[in-house]
Structures are given as structure tokens and as C-alpha cells.
Structure 1
């Protein structure tokens, strides 16, 4: 991939305490307005492409990296970004370039794959594409993305994030292999062979920057788009925005429902996602995220329960799977997931022999508890549930403390700070649940 180098920043510094952000390293934020030649060329390119002026400018924030800053006060209800349809990169807009080729290839393509290929091809010959000003504004690398973490940092991710990363890696590789197959009969598109690293970079550009043209159809094959300028806006969970395609102006618009003061970073909202999801998909985390939770699937499977034979454990897990309650066992700040309580109640049935009448009665009672027809299988079973929830908490708390200790000895980088924040928040969730147990509050 040809390097698209950025010039050093021409900084204008601000100290912007943002009342919406609550974590320590989100306070007293230093901001440098970006006025390098690449950005000025990009603004000129946007003007030629028909993009209206905005009250936003690109800036480097000490807490979040690049994002958009308000150059004037913005009122609630204002449109903050407007991208003409001709400036959107979608499967529809790429039909003129690749439509016949895609049709010959069959149904082995998807919009993410094709848009990523398009970006990779533009980078191979940026001067010829007409999109060089935009390409120069894209990240040169994605070191904050867990899919790019070295093994030592990957090992410090929570278990659900690790599983998510593995799926993402498999998806990128599958799309790359499909792309190579597509290029076998379309080699004239290439300036040089497409290497995996080039395609991974382009795939991550699309993944971290795309929008859904219709937020209600996030699985539609032709629904994603790259939207220059709009894709510089960062996410926070408490931003309130509306995204919509305006048929009258033939453009995609973002309207903020919150006001912003001059000098503040302006955000959009990607949806109700926890920090593990946001980190894996976008490469950052948000402070005080109310959607955070702690996954204890592995700990649940490894629980050692006195008197539970391997055969009984296997049969119980099969029952959980058949009933739709296998996995996704989580702790929230204020409660334990119903799925985890369901799983523990079954695991805590003593003398489990499926052929016995007593066990069949206990299983029937368990089903009735799940459906809400009974409050408990037995007083003893219900008494033991918080005991084992606390055991799970203690195990996860020990892991959080260990990982925080390891991270404290590492050089401070964005990935290290992201991992620290996730484990601090996990620790706080665990301590909150343990406190409820000690105060004998309902779970």
C-alpha cells in the first residue's frame, strides 16, 4: 500500500473540560485544531464536491484522538453534517465501476468486501482516483483496534472481547479470500498484487467509519456507506443524534438533539453498545458507559460444584442448551442476568440422575421457575445461588486485579488506557454485585 503521509499538526491549543465525560483522562482535555495542508486540501475537495459548510472543524483531542470540534455554538436540532449522495461510497454508487463484474462473480460478494476493495484500489493509484484528499485523511494504521493487538495485549482482553476479535479476524480473512477470487477474473483493476495487510487496512477503514443509511436496516447488504467528513465524528453513548437521508436535497444528514458550545468536541451515537463491542469494532472506549457488563461464561463452565458428576454436568449443560439458556452469562452493575441465575439454579440441583423420579421432579420445578410459575426449586437451592454468584465474582475480581497490575507496568498508550478502563469498570461492576450479596439484596 502506498503510504499517505500526514503533515505535522499546526496546533491551536484549548483546554476543554467536557461536562459529558466522566473518566479522569477525559477531564481538562487538550485540543489542537488541525490546519495542515492535507486538511485544507480536503476542505477544498469537499467544497468542489458540493458539501455545505458546517460549524465543525477537525481537531486532535488528547483523550480521543481525532474528532470534530464546534467552531461556533450549536443549537439542539441543528444539522451538523450534510453529505451529498454523490459523495457517499455505497454498493449503489459503485455499480457504475463494478456492477457488471459483480454480476458475473455471483452472490459471493458483500457490500463491506466491495467497498473495502474499492478503497484499497484507490490507495494503489491515489492520484488518478480524484479521491486523494479524502484518502490522505484516513488513519495510516489501526493500532488501537484489538484485531491488530500484539499477543501480550490480546491476552489481557476480557473473554467476550477475545471471542469477538477471533470472529472479526475470521471475517476479514474470509472477505480477503473472496476478494482474491474476484480479482482472478478482474486483475486489470490492480496496479499491483493486493496484499492481506492492504486489504485488512481497507476493511478496517470501512468497519470503523461506515454509516447505515437506514439505521433500522443494519443487516441490509447494500445499506452501509462511507461518508467523508461525517466519518470524523466520534461516538459517545449519551450523544443524541438523528441520521437520515433527505430525498429533497439528495443527501445524508446528521442532526444533533443536544446543544454544543464553541470549543467542545461534537459527538454522534453509534448505538447502545458496551465498551468491549466498541473497542473491538471501532478501537476506542467511552467513559462511564451504562451498557457495560462482565461476562462469566468460562467461569460458569469451570465451576466445581460438590457432588456434581461429569455426567450430571454434561446433562445439565445439554438441558440449558435445549431450553435456550446456554451461555451469555453476565453481571451488570445493578443486577445479575436472568440467564446466569437460570444456569446456576440448574447446576445446583443435587443428586442429579435423569432417570430418577426425584431428578425429573426437580427439572420440572426448574422449568416452572424459569417460566415464573414457581419462585424457587427449593429453599436450599435458592440459598446457594448467591454463594456461587459471589464465587464467580471473586474469580473475576482476581483476574481484574491481576490484569490491572500488568497494565500498570506497561508504557501508557491508547490500547493500554483502553484496557485499563475496561478492567476498572469490570472491577467496579463486580464489587457492586458483591456488595448486594453482602447486604442480602435480591439479585
Structure 2
């Protein structure tokens, strides 16, 4: 579905909107769209206090209503690029470019072409920067909790690698089109990368023999990409082969003059931050994942002999064979069943080995002794995670990038709340 937005200052305040109907960039965007087959919509661009830019309903919306219908010629896909001036260069390039790389290159070139670009008014409506991790300073990312920090740095490494892979292709484009010389900077690529990855809709396409084997599912959709995400709504979105339009139907009613939302998927705030650059104030999908490496380290410390360590390794091999070493989580509802079960197996004695599989599959329960040991060990692990979290450097006040600091603080506070609640539930057990 539509992707994330920049500067989404989500606050717990009364929501109000300011119409963007007089904003020249949106006036020109809508005029251009109508000239090219768009039949209009009852959704109007507006600026909302809690989400920033979004779309407001000019009429009451009922379940099943069509929110928006965009003709295929107003979608930017790899097909669009393969029909452009870049086609021959893409075909001749080896190794094959990915759909993301092709779309990023096209966006950079079209932004440079200005008035000559068919996509000019769409590009002018796009954000100038983003709040995904690739726009954070390293010092800012170091203020994040450990697992989030690792994933955020991984996102930065990924985009640098993608940019470096294009060095030869960018040189070829500049040689073929002198007007693009000096255009392909890292900053321009970062902007295009974030446009593609935060604002595209899902539209799976046939693989092109001229592109890499990566799945091609990106489509940039003018106006539609202003729709923001909420957990409480349901939509149906797909390309209609009959009308040749990308259509979104809502299954959730909406009042007149309210913001219209869509649903990107059941994402926690960490995923929303990493992929889209925003967080929700109260997200019931939030969880904290406990890395198995930390669990294993804690359990190794309890081993008193070589035999104990050997038996622990045997348990780990069993859990690995059952694909049970990942997605070990806790939430505001407490420790997940999977995490607790893994801890129970790690706490079992030699004589209980025959029950491992049935316990892991939920077919039987462990002994009271084992359950108690697992809870005690897990509580110690969670308390250690809390200590590490609280020991992180304080987010500076005032922060250089206010919204960056807002995201960092919220992610830290949410993790702390979940860990403290999980410990509390273990104690009351």
C-alpha cells in the first residue's frame, strides 16, 4: 500500500486539518492528472496536526466505497522506465539492474528534466527529504535500543551498497546524456530510494528479462501516496485489469472532513520507522524481540559443568531443527508463548528429554519446577535488557532534528514499557 511520509509529528492532541487546496503544487498535480485520464475523487489534500500531509474526505464514506482510481498511464513502474530514453542503457547493462535501481535512476533523471518531464507535477509534489534511518546521523542512530540500532545501520549500509553498485551504470547514463552529468550524487540517490521504498504501492509485475531476479512490485501512484496508515482500517487495493486502473476500496466508514486512512499491514513501530519513517502513538502491534544469542549467553552462565554445557548445546540443536530460535518476543500482553516455551525447554533436565517436542508443539505441559525455573531465568534476561536500555545516552534537548528525537524517544519508551510490563506479569505469574 501507500508508503510513509516525512515529518509525521504524531501527537496526542485534538486533530484538525488545513486544506492544501490552495497549494500550487497540489493544484497543478490535480490539473495534470485530470488532463491525463484521472476522473477525480472526493479526497482532498490536507495538512493534519497528527500526521502531516494526508487526504481528507469531502463527503461521508461508506464501507465498500471506491476511494481512488488511478489510470495505468499515471503509474510509474519499471514498464514506464523500459519505454523511456533509459531503455537501451538498461538492456546493455551487466549485471542486471534491480527494479528499485531502475526506478531510482529514472526519478533522478526526471527531476532534473524539470519542465520537459511528463512527471514534473508529481515530482514537485514529493517530499524533499524523509525521516527513515538513512536520513539519520550515525550519532542519532546510536541512541536507539540495540536491536533497532543494528537494523537501522543495516538500512544505511544497504543503500550505500545499492548506490555503489550503480557507479558504472551512472557513468554510462552521463556519457549518453551530458545534461545528467554530476547529477547522480548520493543525496539524490537517497532521495529517490526513499521515494520508491516509502511511497510506492504494491503491484506485482511480470519479471523482465532485462532486469535482475528481484521481485518487481513497485508502482509510484500520484496523489494516492498521500494516504496515511492506521491500524483500525481495512482496505482492498489492487490493479483492476478491466478498468486498467489501480483502485482502492475502503471497508471502513469515514466521516465528512475526517482524514481517510489505509492499512499498510500489521506493522509494529520498529517496522514502520525502518521502512516508512514514522511511528504511531499507540500501536497495539508493538513488541520487543529478545535475540536468542542473549538467551543462550544467560543460560550458559548457569551451566556448572562441561556436561551441563553439552546438554545445553543439545537443546539448542533441537530448537534450531524446529525453527524456534527466532521471533522470541514479548509485548504489553507479556511474554509470547513461543519465548516462554523455548525457555522451558532450555530449563529442562536430562530425564525430561522425551517431552521436548510435545511441549514445543503445545501438546503437553512442562513440570511446575521447569516452568518456575524458566520464568526466573527469563525475568533475569528481561531485567538485564532493561538495564542496557536505561544505560543508553540521554536524547539531547533540544535535539538537532526535533522529529528524529521524537522517534528515538518514543521507540525507547515503548521498549521500556513492554519490558517492564513483561517482568511485572512474570512476577505475578
TM-score range, shorter chain: 0.7 to 0.9
The aligned counterpart of 1:177 is 164
Kindly tell me the number of residue pairs found equivalent between the two proteins.
404
| Distance (Å, rounded) in 2 between the aligned partners of 1:383 and 1:266 | 48
Q: 1:59 to 1:222 in 2, by over 3 A?
A: same
Report the Cα offset of residue 264 of structure 1: 1.4
The aligned counterpart of 1:307 is 303
Match of 2:259 among 265, 275, 278: 265
Aligned-partner SS, 2:125: coil
CA deviation profile, 1:71-117 (whole Å, cap 9, x unmatched): 23222222122111001011122221244433332562221111111
| Distance (Å, rounded) in 1 between the aligned partners of 2:304 and 2:285 | 34
Report the Cα offset of residue 37 of structure 1: 1.8
| Distance (Å, rounded) in 1 between the aligned partners of 2:305 and 2:192 | 50
Report the Cα offset of residue 206 of structure 1: 0.5
| Distance (Å, rounded) in 1 between the aligned partners of 2:304 and 2:106 | 56
The aligned counterpart of 1:369 is 359
Supply the RMSD in Å over aligned alpha carbons.
Answer: 2.9
Match of 1:426 among 392, 415, 418: 415
Q: Which runs of 5+ in 2 are unaligned?
A: 1-8, 208-212
2:145/2:389 contact within 8 Å kept: no
The aligned counterpart of 2:60 is 73
The reply on whether 1:240 has 2:234 as its aligned counterpart is yes
Q: With a CA cutoff of 8 Å and minimum separation of 6, indicate the structure with the bigger relative contact order.
A: 2
The aligned counterpart of 1:33 is 19
The reply on whether 1:158 has 2:157 as its aligned counterpart is no
The reply on whether 1:122 has 2:110 as its aligned counterpart is yes
Report the Cα offset of residue 392 of structure 1: 2.7
Report the Cα offset of residue 382 of structure 1: 2.1
How does the TM-score come out when normalised to structure 1?
0.82
Report the Cα offset of residue 43 of structure 1: 1.8
| Distance (Å, rounded) in 1 between the aligned partners of 2:66 and 2:204 | 17
Match of 1:101 among 82, 86, 89: 89
The aligned counterpart of 1:16 is none
CA deviation profile, 1:257-315 (whole Å, cap 9, x unmatched): 12222321111111111110011100001232221101221642442643356854666
2:10/2:51 contact within 8 Å kept: no
The aligned counterpart of 1:56 is 43
The aligned counterpart of 2:194 is 204
| Distance (Å, rounded) in 2 between the aligned partners of 1:120 and 1:314 | 52
2:10/2:50 contact within 8 Å kept: no
The aligned counterpart of 2:123 is 135
| Distance (Å, rounded) in 2 between the aligned partners of 1:186 and 1:364 | 64
CA deviation profile, 1:358-385 (whole Å, cap 9, x unmatched): x4x5544434422345422x54332111
1:325/1:342 contact within 8 Å kept: no
The aligned counterpart of 2:5 is none
Q: 1:237 to 1:220 in 2, by over 3 A?
A: farther
Aligned-partner SS, 2:394: helix
| Distance (Å, rounded) in 2 between the aligned partners of 1:309 and 1:226 | 59
